Structure 1
C-alpha cells in the first residue's frame, strides 16, 4: 500500500577505513576468546588518562588563562550559562519525544500545512488535516466505511393505508425483515417476518416484495408478490421466480405459465399487479400471461414470443436507449384495458458473446433460462450466446402496439395509417391520460422528427397532436424522457422546451398541442409531482447552477412559487414523493455529509418562506448520519471545490470539480489526474457528497484530481448540449485540454511530467480522443476502460441520435480513433475491457489494438476481464479494476 509519509529509518553508522593502509600495517584482530568487557574498560581507561592529561596541560596554558579571565570580566555568569544549558536540554528532550512519535515527514507537514490558500485567485479553506489521523484508503472505500447510508423508502398509496389512519405509510427493508412504518409515528408492522422460506424441501431467499396496490395492508387474506432467485439479464431486465404471498396464511405459491412441469420452477421476466389489484400480468419467454388473483386462473395473451419477437418486453437496444425499463406495457387507470408493445427483431443483426468461466445457470443473456445442471469442473468449450444488437445504418426493431380487453380477452392491433416517421420509428413514451385516451410520443429512427399522437379507445382512431423537428426547433434531439404526471380531469404535467430551456408545463388534455401554463421561472431537472390536497406541483431545479439541485413548488391556487430548499445556497437535493404528493423523503446529497428526512407537505404549507427551512431541519434524520460522522472524525478528507470556468471569447462556461489531497501544500509538486465522461447530455460534476474512488485516488496517489464536463454534456440549456450534434469526439478533447493546460499554467504545484487522464465507457472514448488530440503535449498517461473506439460498432439508436445514419454523415470517420501514431508520444496507456461486454463490445478494443500494431505503437498495457459485462464485476472484477488503476498510476508516477 502506498504511504504518503516515508517511514522513519533507523540511523546506520559506518567505520571509515583508509583503503590505502596495507594489510601489514593494520592492527591485529582480537581473537574470539578475548574478553570483550575487559577490552572495553581498557580502552576507556587509556582514553580517560590521555584526555585528562591533555585537559590539564591545556587548562594550565598561560594563553588560555588570559582569555578565560577576559570573558569572566565581561560578566557572563555561571548562572546564565546554566539557564541556557537547561533550556537547551529541555528543547532536546521535546525534540526526541516528537521524533519518537512522528516521522520527519509528519513533523514537516505539521509545520507547513495551512487551512486557507489561494488557487487561481480563489480563496479555498482546506479540510482539517492531522498527521495522526487516517487517510481514506482503497480498503476503507471498498468496505463501505464512508458510504452515506440511505433508508429504503417505498411510499404506500392511500388504498394501502391501514383504515382510519392519517397516512404517511411506507415500506422499508431490514436485513431479515420487511416493515411497514409511518412518518412521525411509532407505528411499525412486520409484513415479512423472515426473508427465507421453504417450498418443497428447498429454501428460497426473498429479494423484494410488491404490495397489492388496491387493498389495505390490514385486510385479512391479502395477497402480495414476492421475488426470489433474481438473475440480471441487462441493465434493467432480469429473470426471477415470482410468488403469491399471503401473510395471514404464510403461504408461498409460485407464479407459473400453464402446462409446465410441476417439478420445475420457471423464471419469469417480470410479474406485477394491475392498478385494481385483481390481476397479475407476467411475462415468460417473451410471451404475456394474466393471472386472476381470486381464482388463480392463468390466461395466455400472446403465443408468438421467440428470440426474435418480444411481447411486452424491450429488446436490448430499447431497454438501454429508450424505455429504461424491463417492460413495455400500459394499464388503463380502471384496469379494463392493457396496451402492450411487440418488438420484431427478425431483421436485426446479432452479435455473439462467448462465456469461458460462467455456467449456463449464471448467464442472463439468453432468451430462455436453462435449468440444466452443469458439472463443477471447467467446461471444455465456451458457452455461446447471441444478442440482437442493431448498429448504425443497419436494421433496428420494428415496433407495433396491441390492446387487450380484460373482459372479452380479445387482442387487437392499434392501427396507425401515418407512416411519416417510417416503419422503423421509435416509441419513446406512452401513458393512459384517462380511461379512453392513450398518449404516445414517437420519433424517426434518428430521434430528430418528433410526433405526439393520441389513441382513442372508443373510436379506435390514432390522431396526430403535434409534430416538429427537434434539431430545427432547439438544436437538439429526442432522448429518454422523464415520466408524465397526471393531475385531475384528464390534465397532465410534462416537459416543455422554451428558448432552449427545459421547463414543466400543464396540458389540459391528451389532445392539447400546447400547454396552458408554463412554469418558466425555474428550469426543471425532474418530473413534476402533483399534490391534490394543496393544489400544488413540486419539482427539482438547476436554477442556481448546473451543479445544484433544489426543490421548488408552485401553488396553482395562489399562483406563486415556493423554494422549499433555498437556491441562494449550494446544495444537491433528491426528492421522492408519495403517489399523492403529500409526503416526501427528502435527501440532502451534498456537497456536505448527506442527511435524509421524512416530511409532511402539510407542515411546510403552514409555514411562511422563512420558516420552511427550520421546519425541514427539525424533522429527525433517518439515515444513521451519526454513524458516518463518527467514522469521519479521525479521517483526513480531501478538499473538493466546484467552479464554472468561463471560456475566453465565448459565452460558455464549463463545470469543473477540483479535488486536493489531504494536507495539500501549494509549495509542493503533485501529480494531476483528469477524469471525464463527456457523453451527450451526461453530467459528472454535481455538488454531491462522494467519498468514492476519486477521493481515494487523490489520497493514495497524493494527487490533484480534475473532473470536467465539456461542451455537449447536460445540466445546462440546449445551446450547450447541441454542441454534440454531429460532433461526437470533437469538443470533448479540445475543452478538456484547454481547461487542463490553463490549470497547470496557473498553478505551479502540478508536476508536468505526471499528468494522466482516465475514463470508462464514453469516458474511455473521451480519454482516447483527448490523448490523440493532445499528442503528448499535456497528458503523459491515460487509462481507457471499456472504450468506444469506432462509432460504427455502437448501437444504432444512441449513435444515430447524435450522428444521424452513417450513410449520410461523413463525421463518423472523424469521430473514431484515427491518428494512432500520436499515442507514441504518450508515456504509457492502459486499456481494460470485459470479454462479455454486451454494451461496448470487445470488438472496440480489438480494433484499436490492431491499429496500434499496424502503426508500431507498443507503449500500452491491456487487461481482459473474463466473462465480465460492461460493469466489470464478475469474480471480484470491479474491486480489481479500481485497484489496478491506482497501482498502475502509482507505478508510472514514480
Structure 2
C-alpha cells in the first residue's frame, strides 16, 4: 500500500539521501527482470537509511534562555571521535553497500531449481547460477547500441523466460511515481528489432514468443518470431480510458506500480484492467520554472484526473483476452463504484480478483474461469468488522499435486485471524469439505503475505513480527502442519530481515537490515549440511556472502554514532481505562549527561499514518542522528495508536476520526519527556512530512503550545476533503457518510496556533499527491484569524518529494537551521 505518500522512495520517513531524482528524464536502470515470477531485491528497506543535504552553521542571537547552541558545527566529541554531520551523511560515509541479485524463473525452474539470477558486471548482462559457479549465459553486452544510425542508451533489460531473447528499454521518460514511457527493442542473435516508441508497459509472455505492450492506453501483441505487431487487443484507449495501465489513483493507491495486466501461467490468456475516468474531476497543476518551457512568461498548466474524497472514482472492469479465440471478455460482477485491488492467476485458466467497496469495508473475492468467457462466481465475502481492508499484492498460487496432498489448486492469502494478520490457505474448489486452513495465528502479524512457496515440501515462507513488532524475522509453516511455525532466522538476537527466494524456493537471499551493520548472504535451504557458525540463519547452509560491508564497519570506528534506544512507552490510560502502550525509540546526543538540569531540547519526528511504522530496528544514520549530534538534542520517534503491526484493535481505533488519538499520543509522549529533569520543556519540537506534516499541525492545534513549543510541517494534508478518495475513504469513509468526522479531522482551530511560539510550513507547488491547495487553504485560515507566528517556504515545481532544482538540499538545510534558531530562543525575541 502507498499509505498516502508513504512510498519509501520519495517521502521523508527517515530522511534519506535521494539517490534517484523523479525529474530526471533519463534514468539508468540496471534492473534486469525475466518472467512474471521474477523476484527483484534491491534491499528496499535501505530507503529508510540515508538522506539529504549539506549544512553550514548559522549565527543566531541569544535571548539568555538556557544553553546556547554553537554558531558553527562541532566536529568532535569529548573522546575525540567524529560527530555525525550533514557532510558525511551526504557523501555516503554511512551508506551500506547493496548488491542487487535478481532471481529469474525459467519453464523448469520450479522442479529443477539451479538458483539462476541475472547480474550486470563489466557492462555485461548475464545469467549466473548460485548452485553452479561455472554456469554463465550472456544476455547483452554494452550500455548502448545503434539502430538505424541512431545511438540508444540501455535503460532496462528484460530476458525472455527461456533466456534466448532480450527486451530492451531506451529513451525512458518518467511518468508519475511508478510509471515510465520508453522505446522498446527485441535483441536476438546480435540483431535489434524495434517494437515502438512511447510505450508505457512491455511484458514477455510465458511462451517467450509474444510480448504484450501498451501504447496510447491501448494494448497490442508483438510477435518476436515475425518481429511485428500481430494483434491490437483494444481500440478505445484514450486520455480517459486506460487499458492495461493504471490511471493516477490506481497507480498511486491501489496497484502501487505501473502495470494493470497479467499473463496466465502458460500465456494462453491475458487479464487486464479497463479503467474509465471520464467522470473523474480534473485537478490543474501549474509549473512555473520548467527548463523546457516554450514560453517562460506564462506557467505551463498540466491537468490530472484526481478523485477527491466523496467525488466520482474511475470505473474499473476486469477483462480477459483469449489469444486462441482472439476474443476479449469483460467480467461484469463488479459495480462501477468498487475497487479491484488485486489479481492473481490460480491455474492455467483460473483467476481470482479481490474487490472492495470504495470505503474498504467489505472484501469480495471473485473466481473467474477464463476458458468459459466471462463466467465468474463469488468465492468469499468478508467484512472488516470495524477496521478496513488493506490492499495486498502477495496472494500466492498453490498448484494442485495429489502426490503432495494438494488435491485442488489453491492460494495463500493474508487474512485477519483473531485481530492479527495471518496466512490462510484456500482451495479454489469451494465445495470441498475444508475449503480453507488457517496456517498461522497468534498475537503477532505476518508482514505483507507469503514470501515464497516450496512446491516440493509444502513449505510456506514468510516474514513476521513473531518476536517483536519492531523486528522482522523469517519463518516457515507447512501446509500439512498448520500452526506449527519454524524460525529460519536466529531469534536470539534482535534482527530486521528481508528475504528473496529463487524460483523453486531452494535458495534464499537473506538481507540483514539491522539494527547493526547490514549484510547479505546466499543460503541453500535444502543442503544436507548446516552452518558451523550461526549468523542470521539457523536453517540451511550459507553458500557465500553477497556483501559484508566491512568497509562500513571500519569507517564507523572513527565516529561517535548516537545510538537508537528502542523501548515501549506507557503513555497513560485510554477512555476504557487500559494502558496506552506504544513503540518508540530515542537518540541521545553525544556526551549525554543526565545530571544536567533543564538542558536538552527534544526533537520529535512523527509520521503516524494508519498502518505505518517508523519504529523499526533497521540500520540507518541520517537526519535524526545529525539533529542529535549537531543540535545536542534528544530525538524521539513514537508510533502511536493507529500505526501498524500491533494488531487490528491498535490500528483501527483511528477509523473515521484521523488525527485525534495520533495527536493525543504525541502530546502524552512530550509530556512524559518533559518530566525528565535534564529536558528543557521550552524546547520541545515536532517535525513531520506528508501524513507526518498533517499530524504535526493537528498536534500543535490540540496542544496549543502547552508541550510542543515548535513545529515543522512539510507537504501536509490539512483537509481530508482535498485528498484522494481511495486512501482517505479507506480510513474515513465518504464525507457523505461521515461529515462530522471530516469536519473534525481537518486542521481548523486557527486560534490554537496563536499560542504556539513558532511553526514552519513548507510545500512544493507541483505536488501531484498532496496538493499545494492544502497549504494554501491553511494559510488562508491563518490570515482570516490574524495568526502571524509562523514561517513559510515554497518550492517551485517540486512534487511531493521536494527535489526539483536543488530543493531537497534546501528543505533539510532549512529545517535544521530553523530548529537551531528555535532552540536558541530567537523566535521569542
Q: Structure 1-normalised TM-score?
A: 0.78
Which residue does the alignment assign to 1:431? 344
Q: Distance in 1 between matches of 2:289 and 2:269?
A: 45
Q: Distance in 2 between matches of 1:721 and 1:546?
A: 13
- What secondary structure is seen at the aligned counterpart in 1 of 2:651? helix
- What secondary structure is seen at the aligned counterpart in 2 of 1:496? strand
Partner residue of 2:364 out of 427, 437, 451: 451
Q: Distance in 1 between matches of 2:223 and 2:138?
A: 26
Q: Distance in 1 between matches of 2:289 and 2:819?
A: 29
Looking at secondary structure, tell me which structure has more helix per residue: 1
Which residue does the alignment assign to 2:477? 554
Which residue does the alignment assign to 1:22? none
Distance of aligned partners of 1:548 and 1:4 in 2 relative to their CA distance in 1, 3 Å threshold: farther
Q: Does 1:532 align with 2:460?
A: no
Which residue does the alignment assign to 1:225? 167
Which residue does the alignment assign to 1:407? 324
Which residue does the alignment assign to 1:43? none
Which residue does the alignment assign to 2:376? 462
Which residue does the alignment assign to 2:426? 507
Distance of aligned partners of 1:106 and 1:186 in 2 relative to their CA distance in 1, 3 Å threshold: closer
Partner residue of 2:445 out of 523, 536, 540: 523
CA contact (8 A) 2:439 2:477 kept: no
Q: CA deviation at 1:464?
A: 1.4
Which residue does the alignment assign to 1:28? none
- What secondary structure is seen at the aligned counterpart in 2 of 1:770? helix
Which residue does the alignment assign to 2:253? 321
Which residue does the alignment assign to 1:370? none
Which residue does the alignment assign to 2:125? 178
CA contact (8 A) 1:158 1:167 kept: no
Distance of aligned partners of 1:385 and 1:722 in 2 relative to their CA distance in 1, 3 Å threshold: same
Distance of aligned partners of 1:408 and 1:811 in 2 relative to their CA distance in 1, 3 Å threshold: same
Q: CA deviation at 1:192?
A: 3.1
Which residue does the alignment assign to 1:255? 195
Which residue does the alignment assign to 2:10? none
Q: Distance in 2 between matches of 1:882 and 1:138?
A: 10
Q: Does 1:656 align with 2:590?
A: no
Please give the per-residue CA displacement for 1:88-132, whole angstroms capped at 9, x wherever unaligned.
xxxxxxxxxxxxxxx9x999x64xxxxxxxxxxxxxxxxxxx32x
Which residue does the alignment assign to 2:695? 766
Q: Distance in 2 between matches of 1:874 and 1:627?
A: 32
CA contact (8 A) 1:681 1:721 kept: yes
Matches within 5 A, 1:649-688: 649=573, 650-668=578-596, 669-688=599-618
Distance of aligned partners of 1:168 and 1:830 in 2 relative to their CA distance in 1, 3 Å threshold: same
Distance of aligned partners of 1:5 and 1:544 in 2 relative to their CA distance in 1, 3 Å threshold: farther
Q: Distance in 2 between matches of 1:195 and 1:789?
A: 46
Q: Structure 2-normalised TM-score?
A: 0.84
Please give the per-residue CA displacement for 1:617-645, whole angstroms capped at 9, x wherever unaligned.
95533225012112212111011111122
CA contact (8 A) 2:113 2:504 kept: no
CA contact (8 A) 1:728 1:802 kept: yes
Distance of aligned partners of 1:758 and 1:605 in 2 relative to their CA distance in 1, 3 Å threshold: farther
Q: How many residue pairs align between the two structures?
A: 735
Cα RMSD over matched residues? 2.7
Matches within 5 A, 1:624-773: 624-649=548-573, 650-668=578-596, 669-745=599-675, 747-773=676-702
Q: Distance in 2 between matches of 1:558 and 1:799?
A: 40
CA contact (8 A) 1:269 1:282 kept: yes
Q: Distance in 2 between matches of 1:436 and 1:800?
A: 34
Partner residue of 1:204 out of 125, 132, 152: 152
Distance of aligned partners of 1:604 and 1:681 in 2 relative to their CA distance in 1, 3 Å threshold: farther
Matches within 5 A, 1:114-129: none
CA contact (8 A) 2:524 2:541 kept: no
CA contact (8 A) 1:183 1:599 kept: no
- What secondary structure is seen at the aligned counterpart in 2 of 1:295? coil
Which residue does the alignment assign to 2:39? none
Looking at secondary structure, tell me which structure has more strand per residue: 2
Which residue does the alignment assign to 2:276? 344
Q: Distance in 2 between matches of 1:610 and 1:393?
A: 54
Q: CA deviation at 1:516?
A: 2.5
Partner residue of 2:307 out of 382, 390, 394: 390
Please give the per-residue CA displacement for 1:559-605, whole angstroms capped at 9, x wherever unaligned.
64321113343111101112221111111111111111111111388
- What secondary structure is seen at the aligned counterpart in 1 of 2:629? helix
Partner residue of 1:831 out of 755, 761, 772: 761
Q: CA deviation at 1:479?
A: 2.1
Q: Distance in 2 between matches of 1:872 and 1:536?
A: 44
Please give the per-residue CA displacement for 1:155-201, whole angstroms capped at 9, x wherever unaligned.
02244879x99711211334844343332654455533321223344
Q: Distance in 2 between matches of 1:526 and 1:609?
A: 31
- What secondary structure is seen at the aligned counterpart in 2 of 1:602? coil
Please give the per-residue CA displacement for 1:266-303, whole angstroms capped at 9, x wherever unaligned.
32111110122221111111111110111122121111
CA contact (8 A) 1:550 1:573 kept: yes
Which residue does the alignment assign to 1:485? 396
| Residue range with higher mean Cα deviation, 341-350 or 481-490 | 481-490
Q: CA deviation at 1:868?
A: 1.0
Q: Distance in 1 between matches of 2:245 and 2:779?
A: 37
Q: Distance in 1 between matches of 2:570 and 2:491?
A: 21
Which residue does the alignment assign to 1:306? 238
Which residue does the alignment assign to 1:892? 822
Q: Distance in 1 between matches of 2:701 and 2:541?
A: 50
Q: Distance in 2 between matches of 1:333 and 1:210?
A: 18
Q: Distance in 1 between matches of 2:247 and 2:275?
A: 7
Q: Distance in 2 between matches of 1:601 and 1:787?
A: 46
Q: Distance in 2 between matches of 1:136 and 1:175?
A: 35
Q: Distance in 2 between matches of 1:502 and 1:598?
A: 29
Q: Does 1:297 align with 2:228?
A: yes
Which residue does the alignment assign to 1:139? 87
Partner residue of 1:793 out of 722, 728, 733: 722
- What secondary structure is seen at the aligned counterpart in 1 of 2:169? strand
Q: CA deviation at 1:772?
A: 0.6
Q: Distance in 2 between matches of 1:150 and 1:600?
A: 20
Q: Distance in 1 between matches of 2:645 and 2:312?
A: 33
Please give the per-residue CA displacement for 1:64-85, whole angstroms capped at 9, x wherever unaligned.
xxxxxxxxxxxxxxxxxxxxxx
CA contact (8 A) 2:124 2:142 kept: yes
Which residue does the alignment assign to 1:286? 217
Q: CA deviation at 1:610?
A: 8.4
CA contact (8 A) 2:640 2:662 kept: yes
CA contact (8 A) 2:139 2:159 kept: no
Please give the per-residue CA displacement for 1:651-691, whole angstroms capped at 9, x wherever unaligned.
44211011112222223422211011111111111000011
Q: Distance in 1 between matches of 2:75 and 2:808?
A: 34
- What secondary structure is seen at the aligned counterpart in 2 of 1:724? coil
| Residue range with higher mean Cα deviation, 525-534 or 536-545 | 525-534
CA contact (8 A) 1:533 1:582 kept: no
Q: Distance in 1 between matches of 2:476 and 2:115?
A: 20
Distance of aligned partners of 1:611 and 1:790 in 2 relative to their CA distance in 1, 3 Å threshold: closer
- What secondary structure is seen at the aligned counterpart in 2 of 1:392? coil
Mind listing any 5+ residue stretches in structure 2 that lack a counterpart?
Answer: 1-54, 61-71, 401-408, 825-829
Distance of aligned partners of 1:644 and 1:603 in 2 relative to their CA distance in 1, 3 Å threshold: farther
Distance of aligned partners of 1:799 and 1:611 in 2 relative to their CA distance in 1, 3 Å threshold: closer
Distance of aligned partners of 1:619 and 1:482 in 2 relative to their CA distance in 1, 3 Å threshold: same
Q: CA deviation at 1:510?
A: 5.8
- What secondary structure is seen at the aligned counterpart in 1 of 2:638? strand
Q: CA deviation at 1:546?
A: 1.1
Bigger relative contact order, structure 1 or 2, given CA contacts below 8 A and separation 6+? Answer: 2
Q: Distance in 2 between matches of 1:480 and 1:616?
A: 33
Distance of aligned partners of 1:412 and 1:698 in 2 relative to their CA distance in 1, 3 Å threshold: same
Q: Distance in 2 between matches of 1:482 and 1:401?
A: 16
